[in-house]
Amino acid sequence: MRVCRNIRILFNFDPPATDAEVRDASLQFVRKISGFRQPSKANERSFRAAVDEIAQVSTSLLRSLETNAQPRTREQEIAKAKAHSAERFRASVSA
């Protein structure tokens, strides 16, 4: 499954995802589905309400999920992302 590049997996991290990380992901989601990077004044209230609601639901979801898997570390995920990016860059250069 491919996720919007700016939305990161937030489940099963040690330490857990912060409120700011959840809010950032919620903002990216609302931007993606609305097509607005920055809403007009007329849409600002709806846009912000959507971000708040999605952040609230996402936090609830993350707290309710369970796993037996070892928690991820941010350092491991950053290393994986860099390796994936390097591979994609090599593939596009050689094509």
Partners of residue 72 on adjacent β-strands: 13
The reported pLDDT for the residue numbered 1 is 41
Span between the terminal Cα atoms of the chain, in Å: 24
Structural domain total, the chain: 1
Is residue 12 included in any domain, yes or no?
no
Is residue 10 included in any domain, yes or no?
no
The owner of tokens 């995802």 is: 17
Catalogue the long-range contacts made by 53-57 (C-beta closer than 8 Å, 24 or more residues apart).
54/26, 54/29, 54/30, 55/19, 55/22, 55/23, 55/26
Q: pTM surpassing 0.85?
A: no
- What residue numbers bound the domain in which 56 lies? 19-94
Distance CA 59, CA 81 (A): 24
Would you write out the chain's pLDDT as a tens digit for each of its 95 residues? 445 566 788 999 999 999 999 999 999 999 999 999 999 999 999 999 999 999 999 999 999 999 999 999 988 888 988 998 888 888 777 66
Is residue 24 included in any domain, yes or no?
yes
